[in-house]
Amino acid sequence: MTAEQRTAIVTGAARGIGAALAARLAEEGLNVAAVDLTAQACEETVGSITDAGGTARAYGADVADEGSVAQVVEAVRSELGAPAVLINNAGVLRDSLLFKMSTDDWDTVMDVHLRGHFLMSRAVQGHMRDAGWGRIVNISSTSALGNRGQANYSAAKAGIQGLTKTLAIELGKYGTTVNAIAPGLIETDMTKATAERMKVPYEQFVEKAAEQIPVARTGKPEDIAAAAAFFIREEAGFVSGQVLYVAGGPRA
């Protein structure tokens, strides 16, 4: 970061990729607003950051709710400073084959992922425009390319890529870049849930997955955080509208 300390919002920051993103942004010198459904859920994330000498606060918000989003962005602005960086990471799984997928399961995944990315991005873009500088990083997935049992998740993650490219076009002239990261298999609680859905022991699930990955390992949350750290830096200002597959090998 520059000498001016900037503020970042990370959604879904209670655990996994979100917690790693929050920690890495704090290491990069930003004030971090760790957002999840409840502030209490982010206490461990915030505690780890402050113990390491960083600045962070926990906030509760439902990213799919317009009023909740407006309230949390205003709270962050008044307590930590106007958001200059947004990492849209909040997400849920409701996996099922199409013929068994309920409308509620479809709507929940679309709302949290795609609607949530839209609402959060819209809420912060004014602050970035006023400052003449901003960074938005959206978390997509390799599932955007299609994945059995994830019609809802795949559609949402593909939509996030389209949203990313459109926002990059609209916000670029205001000094704001918008990029997306598409993780492959990352070892998180959501990955464990996928293994459970498939009725495969988690260790076996990870081992078999690693055999199909060119770098011969599965990903860690820190791998995604490292990619995000690049996108938010000053020298990445000419990189916008891109989707970076962090999956241990080439993807379409």
Q: What angle do CA 211, 215, 221 make, to 5 degrees?
A: 95
Cα separation of 151 and 157, whole Å?
Answer: 10
Asked if residues 96 and 198 have their Cβ atoms less than 8 Å apart, the reply is no
Cβ neighbourhood burial of 198 (10 Å; 0-12, 13-18, 19+): exposed
Q: Which of 153, 174, 202, 245 is catalytic?
A: 153
**Whether 174 is catalytic:** no
Alpha-carbon torsion 113, 119, 124, 125, what sign? positive
Q: Please, where are the H alpha helices in 179-238?
A: 189-197, 202-211, 221-231
* CA nearest neighbour of 31 among 63, 1, 11: 1
Residues annotated as part of the active site: 153
